[in-house]
A = this chain, B = another copy of it.
Amino acid sequence: MTSASEDTIASRISRILADRIVTGQLDPGTKLRQDHIAEEFGTSHVPVREAFRRLEAQGLAVSEPRRGVRVASFDLKEVREVAQMRAALEVLALRHAAPHLTAAILDQAEEATVAGDNSRDVRSWEEANRRFHTLILTPCGMPRLLAAISDLHAASARFLFASWRSEWEVRTDHDHRAILAFLRQGNIENAAPVLERHVQWIGQKPVRNASGTTRDAFAIVG
C-alpha cells in the first residue's frame, strides 16, 4: 500500500497534477511543460502526455495542439455550470441510492458531517464534505454517474480552494443534517430538493486583494 506502483506512472502523475490544480497550487493558465514535469517525476515525457489527456478529459487542463497544455481557467459562469450539473446528477444518484441506504451508512455520513464541522482548514473540510456526498450516493450502483459526479466534485473543490485561500471560518452544516434526517425517515421526496439546493448554493463575499481593492469571491460550498 506504500506505493501506487500497481498502476501506471501516467495515472500517478495525473492524480498528483489533478490534486495540485484542484488545491490551487497551480494557478489557472499556468503552462504545463511536459519535460519539466517529466524531469520532476524522474520519467520521460511520454507518460506525462498521457496524464495530460486525462486532465483534459476531467476539465482540469486545456490543450491547444502544438501550443501546449495549460491549467484550465474558470469564471463564475463555469462555477454555476458545474453547480447545476452537480445538482441534476446528485439528485438522480440520490433517488437511486435511497432504497439501498442503511443505518450504518447514514451513521458514517453523520460522522463525516461532524468531521466537516470540526475542520480547522479548507482542505480537511473539503475532504469530509466529499466523503458525505460520496457515502450517500455510492449505493446507487451507477458507476458512470458516480464517475461524472466525482469529476464535478473535483471542479467544485477547485473553486472552493480558489476563493478561500487563507481565512476559514467554522460553520455547522445544517443542510447535511437535514438531508440525513429525511433519509433516516426514508423520505426521499424531501431529501432530494434539499440536496439540490444545497449543491447549488454559491457563497459570495467580498475579499480583500493584496492591492487593497476588494472583489467578490465565490465558491461552491456544498
| Contacts from A to B (Cβ < 8 Å) | 6-8, 10-11, 46, 49-50, 53-54, 56-59, 65-66, 78, 81-82, 84-85, 88-89, 91-92, 142-145, 148
**What's the dominant secondary structure at chain A's contact region?**
helix
Residue of B nearest to A155 (CB): B144
In the complex, A54→B7 CA distance in Å?
18
Residues of B within 8 A of A8 (CB): 65-66
Residue of B nearest to A95 (CB): B84
Copies in the assembly, this chain: 2
Residue of B nearest to A47 (CB): B49
Task: Tell which of B6, B78, B92, B144 touches A65, judged by Cβ atoms closer than 8 Å.
Answer: B6
Asked whether, in the complex, the Cβ of B81 is within 8 Å of the Cβ of A145, the reply is yes
Most central of A8, A10, A85 by chain B CB within 10 Å:
A85
